Structures are given as structure tokens and as C-alpha cells.
Amino acid sequence: MLQYPFYAGIMAIMAGSGLVNTIAKWFVDISTPQTLPFWGLISSFVINFFAPSAGGHWAIQGPFMVEAAKNLNADMAKTAMSVMMGNAWNDLVQPFWLLPTLAISRLQLRDIMGYTVLDAIWVCIVFSVGILIWGYM
């Protein structure tokens, strides 16, 4: 309950200050319509460290990714999916979703962290290659 007003504040500051347009322009400058989803994946992975909630994450990243997709005439669905995939990918690096299961099984995070990091590396490869190929389809 406390996170969403924080994310809404971040979104309002980004929109009101022009930061959304600045970030969108940066993505437009380095991307093509085919590579924008890949850059959305990578940026989503990084942003998820600071906004690990999927809804709050989209509230922060969505405006500038939508703006960049509009400016490049990129596929909006592919761009949105890449943001979601980056969010899910990062959940392997910081597996807060697994804490209840760890408590039930009496394991600690350090007992499983090596496995989730290996999974994150594998997912990075699969998602990156898949998104780049999908961008050209």
C-alpha cells in the first residue's frame, strides 16, 4: 500500500519535469523499431532494482517506452512485452517472491541464490536472443 503512492510520485515528477520525453528521445536515438524491445528489456531489468513491483514498474517505465515506440513507429505490444520480460528476468536476481516458500521449507536465501542467479543468466540469453529475433519478425 505504501509503494504505489511513491511510484505515482516518481511518475508525476518524470512527466512534469520533461524527463519522460528526454528518456524517450534517448531510446529513439539508440534504437530502431526492431531493437527498441531489446533496449526495453535491458532498461526494465535495471529499473526493476528500484521499483520491483510490476505495476509500479510500468508506471515508471511505461510512459517513456510508449513515447519512444510512438516516435519510432515500433510495435507497441512487443515493446510492452519486453518491459514485462525485463521485470520478470530481474525477479530471478532478487527473488522476493520466493520468501514465503523459503520460510515454509526452512531454507535461507543463500541456499537457493546460486540457482536463481544461474537461471537469471540463462534467461538473459534466451530473452535477449528471442526479443532481437522477434523484433525482426
Q: From first to last of its 137 residues, what are the pLDDT tens digits of the chain?
A: 566 677 777 777 776 787 767 777 887 788 899 999 999 899 888 888 777 777 777 877 888 889 889 989 999 999 999 999 988 888 888 777 777 888 899 888 888 888 888 998 999 999 999 999 988 88
Determine the structural domain holding residue 128 and report its residue range: 3-135
Cβ–Cβ under 8 Å, residues 67 and 24: yes
pLDDT reported for residue 20: 67
* CA–CA distances in Å: residue 132 to residues 34, 85, 98, 135: 7, 13, 30, 5
- The total of structural domains in the chain comes to 1
